[in-house]
C-alpha cells in the first residue's frame, strides 16, 4: 500500500532534479557487512541529496523520481517532504519496487556500497514519462550520470529531459557521477560523453575526467569539456580543492580541511548543492565563480564529517557562519 498523503506542488522552483532515491541501510558498526547485526535506515540518491542540500540553503527544489507503491517509497517521499523538497510530481509504480542500498564501513577510505536496485521502479523511467509540468516555473535542471545507467530507457529519458529543459529556457547542470557497478565502461563513456553537450554546467571529478578523455592537464580538461558545449566546467580535485573554468576565467579554490572524515558518500552532491546555490545568482555577481567554489568546498567538507549521504549538509545560517570564518560552537 502506498501513502495517501497528497503533496501540493509549488508553482515556481529554483531547481528541478530527476533521479532514483533509495532506502539506505547503514550498519551501526564497522567491519564486514556479512557480520553486521544492527542497521540504521535513511534514504539516499545523488539527485535527492542535491535537492536537500539546496533546500537547506534556502532554494526551492522539485524532486522527480519513480518509486514503488510500497512502504519504502512512502518513507522516501515523507523524508524529502519533511526536508522541504517539493515531491508533488514523484510517481508511484505499483508494478516495481523501491530500491535499497547498503553501505559497509571499513574504518578508513570510501565505504563499500551494495545496490539492490535492478528492476526498481526508477529503472523503468523512459522518455514517455518526461512531462512538461516537470519544468513548469523552474529555472534550472540538475541531472547526474547515475540515472542513465539504471535501465534500458533511462538514458533516453535523461537526454529528453535535458533537451526539454533547455527548450524552455532552463539552464542545465550535469554531474557524471560515474558508478562502475551499474554499467560497462564502454556504455558509461559513450553515454556520458553524449550528454555533456546538453548541459551548461558540467561537474566532473578528476578521475571521471580522466575516464572520459584519458590523461590530460586540468586546464586541458577544462578546455576540452567546454569545447563540447557547457559554458562552465568545474573539476573536483578532492583533497586539492576545485578548479572552475567559465568564459575566459580559470579559478582555483583551496580545499576546506576537516578534523576527521567519517563518510565520503554524498560529498560530491553537497559540493554540487553549494555550487548551484551560487550559480543561480551568477548574473548579479562578477565574482560568482570564486564564491561558488568556496561554498561548494565548504559544503563537501561538512558532508564528510557525518554518517549518511546528506545528513551532514549545513543550513544556510550554519554555512554563512563557516564562510565568514566562524567556528563550530559546541557549548
By annotation, the residues acting in catalysis are 269
* Phi/psi of residue 227, nearest 5 degrees: -65, -20
The DSSP code sequence of 214-226 is: -S--HHHHHHHHH
For ligand KDG, the binding residue among 49, 55, 246, 277 (CB under 6 A) is 49
Of 189, 222, 190, nearest to 203 by C-alpha is 222
Q: How far is the CB of 190 from ligand KDG (least distance, A)?
A: 19
Nearer to ligand KDG, 176 or 268 (CB): 268
| 3 state DSSP class of 253 | strand
Q: How far is the CB of 93 from ligand KDG (least distance, A)?
A: 18
Of 33, 138, 104, nearest to 263 by C-alpha is 104
Q: How far is the CB of 222 from ligand KDG (least distance, A)?
A: 23
- Strand 232-236, strand 201-202: pairing: parallel
Nearer to ligand KDG, 146 or 209 (CB): 146
Q: How far is the CB of 144 from ligand KDG (least distance, A)?
A: 8
- Stretch in the footprint of ligand KDG (CB under 6 A) among 43-51, 65-73, 133-141, 207-215: 43-51
Answer for the pair 101, 115: CB distance below 8 angstroms, yes or no.
Answer: yes
Of 53, 98, 103, nearest to 74 by C-alpha is 98
CB atoms within 10 A of CB 1: 8
Which residues in the 187-246 window bind ligand KDG by CB under 6 A? Answer: none
Between 158 and 197, how does the x/- string for binding to ligand KDG read (CB under 6 A)? ---------------------x------------------
44 scored as a contact of ligand KDG (CB under 6 A): yes
- Stretch in the footprint of ligand KDG (CB under 6 A) among 25-33, 216-224, 260-268, 293-301: 260-268
- Stretch in the footprint of ligand KDG (CB under 6 A) among 4-12, 216-224, 261-269, 291-299: 261-269
For ligand KDG, the binding residue among 85, 125, 146, 195 (CB under 6 A) is 146
Nearer to ligand KDG, 46 or 141 (CB): 46
Distance of alpha carbon 24 from alpha carbon 42, whole angstroms: 5
Angle between helices 71-82 and 46-56 (to 10 degrees): 30
Give the count of residues interacting with ligand KDG (CB under 6 A): 11
Q: How far is the CB of 24 from ligand KDG (least distance, A)?
A: 7
Q: How far is the CB of 213 from ligand KDG (least distance, A)?
A: 22
Which residues in the 262-291 window bind ligand KDG by CB under 6 A? Answer: 265-266, 268-269
- Residues 237-252 as b/e (b if ≥16 CB within 10 A, e otherwise) read beeebbbbbbeeeebe
What value, to the nearest 5°, has the Cα angle with vertex 120 and ends 34 and 82?
85
Rg over CA atoms, the chain = 19
Give the footprint of ligand KDG on this chain (CB under 6 A): 44-46, 49, 146, 179, 265-266, 268-269, 309
Amino acid at each position: 500500500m502506498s501513502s495517501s498523503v497528497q503533496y501540493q506542488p509549488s508553482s515556481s522552483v529554483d531547481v528541478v532534479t530527476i533521479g532514483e532515491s533509495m532506502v539506505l541501510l547503514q550498519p551501526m558498526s564497522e567491519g564486514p557487512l556479512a557480520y553486521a547485526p544492527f542497521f540504521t535506515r535513511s534514504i539516499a540518491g545523488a539527485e535527492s541529496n542535491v535537492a536537500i542540500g539546496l533546500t537547506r540553503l534556502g532554494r526551492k527544489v522539485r524532486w522527480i523520481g519513480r518509486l514503488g507503491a510500497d512502504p519504502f517509497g512512502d518513507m522516501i517521499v515523507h523524508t524529502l517532504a519533511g526536508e522541504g523538497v517539493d515531491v508533488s510530481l514523484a510517481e508511484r509504480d505499483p508494478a516495481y519496487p523501491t530500491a535499497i542500498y547498503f553501505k559497509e564501513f571499513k574504518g578508513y577510505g570510501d565505504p563499500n556500497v551494495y545496490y539492490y536496485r535492478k528492476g526498481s521502479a526508477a529503472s523503468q523511467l523512459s522518455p514517455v514519462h518526461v512531462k512538461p509540468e516537470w519544468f513548469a516555473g523552474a529555472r534550472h535542471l540538475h541531472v547526474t550520470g547515475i540515472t542513465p545507467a539504471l535501465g534500458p530507457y533511462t538514458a533516453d529519458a535523461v537526454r529528453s529531459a535535458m533537451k526539454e529543459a533547455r527548450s524552455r529556457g532552463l539552464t542545465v547542470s550535469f554531474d557524471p557521477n560515474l558508478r562502475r557497478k551499474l554499467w560497462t565502461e564502454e556504455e558509461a563513456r559513450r553515454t556520458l560523453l553524449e550528454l555533456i553537450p546538453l548541459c551548461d554546467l558540467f561537474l566532473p571529478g578528476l578521475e571521471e575526467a580522466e575516464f572520459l578523455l584519458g590523461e590530460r592537464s586540468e586546464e586541458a580538461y577544462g578546455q576540452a569539456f567546454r569545447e563540447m558545449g557547457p559554458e562552465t566546467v568545474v573539476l573536483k580535485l578532492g583533497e586539492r580543492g576545485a578548479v572552475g573554468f567559465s568564459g575566459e576565467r580559470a579559478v582555483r579554490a583551496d580545499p576546506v580541511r576537516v578534523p576527521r572524515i567519517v563518510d565520503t558518500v554524498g560529498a560530491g552532491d553537497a559540493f554540487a548543492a553549494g555550487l548551484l546555490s551560487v550559480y543561480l545568482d551568477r548574473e548579479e555577481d562578477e565574482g560568482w565563480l570564486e564564491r561558488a567554489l568556496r561554498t561548494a568546498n565548504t559544503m563537501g567538507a561538512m558532508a564528510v564529517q557525518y554518517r549518511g549521504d546528506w545528513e551532514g549538509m549545513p543550513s544556510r545560517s550554519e554555512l554563512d557562519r563557516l564562510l565568514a570564518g566562524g567556528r563550530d560552537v559546541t557549548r
